[in-house]
Homo-oligomer: A and B are copies of this chain.
Amino acid sequence: MIELNLTNLEDLARGTAFLATGGGGDPYIGKLMLKHQLEQGKKVKIISPDEIDDDTFACNVLTMGAPTVFGEKAPNGLTSYEAMKKVEEIIGKKFNAIMPIEAGGVNATLPLVVGALSGLPVIDADGMGRAFPELQMVTYNVGDVSINPLVVINDFYETGIFNSRNSSSGEWLSRAVCVRMGGICQVACYPMNAKQIRETSVHNTIKLSFEIGSLIQKARDDKNDPVEEIIKYMGKSNPPRVGKLLFTGKIDDLLRETVNGWTRGKMYLKSLNDKDTLLVEFQNEFSYAKLNDNKVLAMVPDLICALDSETGEPITTDSLRYGQRIKIVAVSVPPIMRSEKALKLFGPRAFGLPFDYTPLEDIN
A67–B165 alpha-carbon span in the complex (Å): 26
Chain A interface, >50% SS class: mixed
Verify A159–B158 contact, CB threshold 8 A.
no
Verify A181–B177 contact, CB threshold 8 A.
no
CB distance from A66 to the nearest CB of B (A): 15
CB of A161 within 8 A of chain B? yes
Interface size of A by CB at 8 A reads: 18
**1/0 contact string of A159-173 vs chain B (CB within 8 Å):** 111111100010011
CB-CB under 8 A from A156, the residues of chain B are: 165, 169
**1/0 contact string of A178-216 vs chain B (CB within 8 Å):** 011100000000000000000000000000000000000
CB distance from A136 to the nearest CB of B (A): 14
A163–B169 alpha-carbon span in the complex (Å): 20
CB of A176 within 8 A of chain B? yes
Q: Out of B158, B162, B181, name the residue touching A160 (CB < 8 Å).
A: B162
Q: Out of B160, B163, B165, B172, name the residue touching A173 (CB < 8 Å).
A: B160
Which B residue's beta carbon lies closest to that of A151? B161
Q: Out of B163, B173, B179, B180, name the residue touching A181 (CB < 8 Å).
A: B173
Verify A159–B165 contact, CB threshold 8 A.
no
A161–B177 alpha-carbon span in the complex (Å): 12
Q: Out of B165, B179, B180, B181, name the residue touching A158 (CB < 8 Å).
A: B165
A180–B163 alpha-carbon span in the complex (Å): 14
CB distance from A166 to the nearest CB of B (A): 9
15 contacts between A and B (CB under 8 A): A156-B165, A156-B169, A158-B163, A158-B165, A158-B173, A160-B160, A160-B173, A160-B177, A173-B177, A173-B181, A176-B176, A176-B177, A176-B179, A176-B180, A177-B177
Beyond contacts A158-B164, A160-B163: 15 other A-B pairs, Cβ-Cβ < 8 A, are A157-B165, A158-B173, A159-B162, A160-B160, A160-B161, A160-B162, A160-B177, A161-B161, A161-B162, A172-B180, A173-B177, A173-B180, A176-B176, A176-B177, A176-B180
Report A's interface with B, CB cutoff 8 A: 156-165, 169, 172-173, 176-177, 179-181
